């Protein structure tokens, strides 16, 4: 993990990203604290940029060139996706495409630090027996709803975009 964070920091610096010396990627805000996660309302919510010391309001700690961002416009341009495709889906397809390139991807250092399926552990991927233990809980219906939404989006994209392109 440390090597991946270092590779990301080097990649960011090589590509014009400004990172204040008051911040660090995946580094603890204090020498006696170990932290590779950020939290939101006390819940883990992934990795993030952490302050090493107090910051002044309005002080820039991180600036990234827009050209480095994965955007819908970049997905449309690079992959010839339809303009009317949903922004999140466009970026997801771009990420999938870049991940598929492996070490040939310009974005490899960024992709390498993204959480894995195991890190996220989405409930809809749990074995049926484990999900059954939570019957009656509202999280079961929320997970089922998300699973159905993702399946619907996948089927729509597969039919309207990928199947159509395979025929061309």
What mean pLDDT, rounded, does the chain reach? 83
pTM for this structure?
A: 0.75
β-partners of residue 44 are 39
pLDDT in tens, 65-91: 999 999 999 999 999 999 999 999 999
87-100 and 72-79 are packed helices; what angle lies between their axes, rounded to 10 degrees? 50
Q: Is residue 6 part of a domain?
A: no
C-alpha pair distances (Å), 55 with each of 22, 50, 87, 132, 160 = 7, 11, 33, 47, 48
Does residue 85 sit in the same domain as residue 56? no
Based on the domain organization, do 116 and 129 belong to the same domain? no
- Within a domain: 45: yes
Cα 65 to the center of its chain, rounded Å: 18
Residues 148 and 108 in one domain: no
Establish if 93 belongs to a structural domain.
Answer: yes
pLDDT recorded at residue 37: 58
Residue 9 falls within a domain, yes or no? no
Number of domains in the chain: 3
pLDDT, tens only, 110-136: 999 888 888 888 888 899 899 899 999
Please report whether residue 80 resides in a domain: yes
pLDDT over 90 (residue 19): no
Residues 127 and 110 reside in one and the same domain: no
Q: State residue 145's pLDDT score.
A: 92
Domain that holds residue 105: 69-121
Half-sphere exposure of residue 120: CA atoms within 13 angstroms, side-chain side? 9
- Does one domain contain both 57 and 90? no
- Quick check: helix, strand or coil at residue 23? strand
DSSP class of residue 160 equals I
Does a structural domain hold residue 98? yes
Do 145 and 106 belong to one domain?
no
Last residue of a domain, one of 121, 142, 158: 121
DSSP 116: P
Instruction: Count helices and strands (H / E) in the chain.
Output: 8, 6
Same domain assignment for residues 167 and 138? yes
- Three-state secondary-structure class, residue 39: strand
Q: Per-residue pLDDT tens for 34-59?
A: 345 555 556 655 566 767 778 889 88
Band (32; pLDDT cuts 50, 70, 90): very low
User: Could you tell me if 59 and 38 lie in one domain?
Assistant: yes
Is 4 within the bounds of a domain? no
In a domain, 11, yes or no: no
Q: Is residue 17's pLDDT more than 80?
A: yes
Distances in whole angstroms, Cα of residue 94 to Cα of each of 15, 69, 101, 139, 166: 19, 11, 11, 30, 18
């Amino acid at each position: 993990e440390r090597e991946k964070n270092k590779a990301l920091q080097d990649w960011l610096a090589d590509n014009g990203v400004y990172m204040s010396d008051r911040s660090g990627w995946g580094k603890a805000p204090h020498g006696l604290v170990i932290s590779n996660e950020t939290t939101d309302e006390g819940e883990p919510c992934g990795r993030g940029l952490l302050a090493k010391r107090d910051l002044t309001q309005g002080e820039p700690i991180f600036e990234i060139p827009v050209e480095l961002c994965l955007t819908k416009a970049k997905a449309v341009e690079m992959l010839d996706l339809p303009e009317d495709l949903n922004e999140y889906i466009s970026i997801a397809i771009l990420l999938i495409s870049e991940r598929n390139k492996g070490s040939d991807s310009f974005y490899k250092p960024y992709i390498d630090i993204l959480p894995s399926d195991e890190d996220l552990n989405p409930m809809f991927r749990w074995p049926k027996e484990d999900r059954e233990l939570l019957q009656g809980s509202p999280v079961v219906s929320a997970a089922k709803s998300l699973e159905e939404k993702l399946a619907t989006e996948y089927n729509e994209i597969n039919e309207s975009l990928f199947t159509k392109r395979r025929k061309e």
